[in-house]
Chains A and B, each alone.
Chain A
Amino acid sequence: MELMEGNDVGFATCGDKNEEIGIESLQFGEEIQSLMSVPPETGSSFTALLELPANQAVVLLHSPESHEAPAELSGEVWRNGSIDHPKPYQPQSFACTPTFPSNTALLERASRLSVFAATENSPETTSIPSNSSATSHKVKQEPIESYSNPDSSPILSDPTVLNKNQKSTKRKEREKKVKGATKKIKNAVNDTSEDGEKLPYVHVRARRGQATDSHSLAERARREKINARMKLLQELVPGCNKISGTALVLDEIIYHVQSLQRQVELLSMRLAAVNPRIDFNLDGLLAAESGSLMDGNFPGMFMPPIWPEGCVNGNRQHYQQLWQFDGHHQPVWGRGEDNLNFITPANSLLSYDSSANNSGKLYSNITRVIVHLPCFSMSTEIISTSRKSVGLDYKFREHSDIVNCYQVSKH
């Protein structure tokens, strides 16, 4: 059920970091384009540096690396054992890119640079698609590096002052940026200093300018979980997309659930009135059903997998585990051919399936489960006696229900 959480994978390897940086820098590219309107605060010398080609950028990147001050990283916690390796580690670890930001400060400056780059759109945007993702990072970083580069002494005084101003503004802009694709993991350590140790904890990535307490991180993770689910609910409930604010959306959801429940009852009443065929002897049924889980004395209705396999996702295994405790696990593959024609009316429901799948793959399973509920009120009796909660795939169990429904209607 944690699909929405992204990948909670521990960043132990440098390779993962590469991917992460790559994803990030792709985002930087987008952000650069989105920040077109940011006024340049750089001096003319800086913009000249932006036009440096990529290889020079690489050189510049390497040289002033040691001058990075960890104190700048007030808001950013990027704890990864591999990231905190000193510079000499670089060439061995990150073979895919010549230069890799082993310093968090570098990346922070890269983020700041993305605002700079807005002014010089052409060199940046052309460089970004052409270079690899990591080197695009370097292109952004090299003008920053030029600041701290002691070689550029004539412009040293100005850029440092400018740097501070830019830092504050970039910090605000940075906060707005979303590090969407970054894998979020829990951080057990609060300090932002760059140690060389490799901790066995799972690490999280705090956004810049935000608190890095473990509590606030946990709360943030929880809040994001809740927001993701609210978004999904908004998609499900019609007319909720325009509403902003949790309380009103929840009101809509409540109203929707109530109306659906009323509709279900109304329609079931109507169906019962129209088809008073089966006696509703449910009390005994439900009591017996709990005991009938181990029985195998009903005609086995389990269909071979005719149902389309298209929507199998990770939830399947998760749900399969839930099934294990229901009873004995013997799939009964009986009467395959007889029931083939029963599937065809149900196949028309596949269109609903596909539409439902779009609304969230977490919940796509449920529609396939429910689609065979046409005669729910009528066939309850048959369903209860013939249904076997065995450790089957949920798909195949659905088939049994379909068959049961249609067999009832046939009788």
Chain B
Amino acid sequence: MSSKDSHRRSQKITIAAYSSMVRAVGTRRAWSRALLFKLRSQARRGYVVKRRCFSVKKRRVTKKASSGELKQAEKLRSLVPGGEAMEFCELLEETADYIKCLATQVIRAYGKHQKGSR
């Protein structure tokens, strides 16, 4: 297996992990909607889109940055899916939900991993 294939495989695996998580959450969260949209458009296109066409959202982000928002907020926006277009307040809320979701997934995956390895 070449490195490219293994890279593609690992990419597929992470996509699988995130998509299952997102589908469990559904559309009730802004971050899950954003992630779902991203995954679907990715699947439709067949490749991972580079972050270039976020001009509309960037406008709001730069406005926030110029108004004295913390640089952690930008970092957080890059981490949480869909965070670019959120207000700071909403961003915090989505982050909390995202953290909870990730943590649950990790716990379950770890438990399953342990169970499988026995």
Binding site for B on A (CB under 8 A): 1, 222, 225-226, 229-230, 232-233, 236-237, 246-247, 250-251, 253-254, 256-258, 260-261, 263-265, 267-272, 274-275, 280, 282-287, 289-290, 318-319, 322-323, 325-326, 349, 352, 356, 359-360, 362-363, 365-367, 369-377, 379-380, 383-384, 387, 389, 394, 397-398, 401
Contacts and interface: CB of A to CB of B under 8 A. Distances in A.
B62 interface: no
B72 A280 contact: no
A89 to B, nearest CB: 40
Interface of B: 9-10, 12-21, 23-29, 39-40, 42-44, 46, 70, 72-73, 75-76, 79-80, 88-89, 92-93, 95-113, 116-117
Nearest to B46: A283
Nearest to B14: A265
B20 A380 contact: yes
Query: Taking chain B's interface residues, is the majority helix, strand, or loop, or is none over half, making it mixed?
Result: helix
A58 B78 CA distance: 61
Contacts of B109: 264, 267-268, 271, 373-374, 376-377
Nearest to B12: A280
Given A369-B26, A377-B16, A229 B93 contact: yes
Contact of A373 (B9, B88, B108): B108
A287 B44 contact: yes
A387 B101 CA distance: 19
Nearest to A368: B104
Contacts, number: 203
Nearest to A283: B43
Contact of B28 (A257, A319, A372): A319
A225 B72 CA distance: 18
A219 to B, nearest CB: 12
Contacts of A261: 79, 102
A356 B96 CA distance: 12
Contact of B23 (A233, A359, A365, A387): A387
22 contacts: A229-B92, A232-B92, A233-B96, A257-B79, A260-B99, A260-B102, A265-B13, A267-B113, A268-B14, A275-B116, A287-B43, A326-B26, A366-B25, A366-B97, A366-B104, A370-B104, A373-B104, A373-B108, A374-B108, A376-B16, A383-B20, A401-B23
A282 B16 contact: yes
**Interface core residue of B13, B29, B39, B89 (most chain A CB under 10 Å):** B13
A148 to B, nearest CB: 44
A375 B112 contact: yes
**Interface core residue of A270, A349, A369 (most chain B CB under 10 Å):** A369
Given A274-B116, A282-B43, A286-B43, A247 B70 contact: yes
B25 A370 contact: yes
Contacts of A247: 70, 72
B38 to A, nearest CB: 10
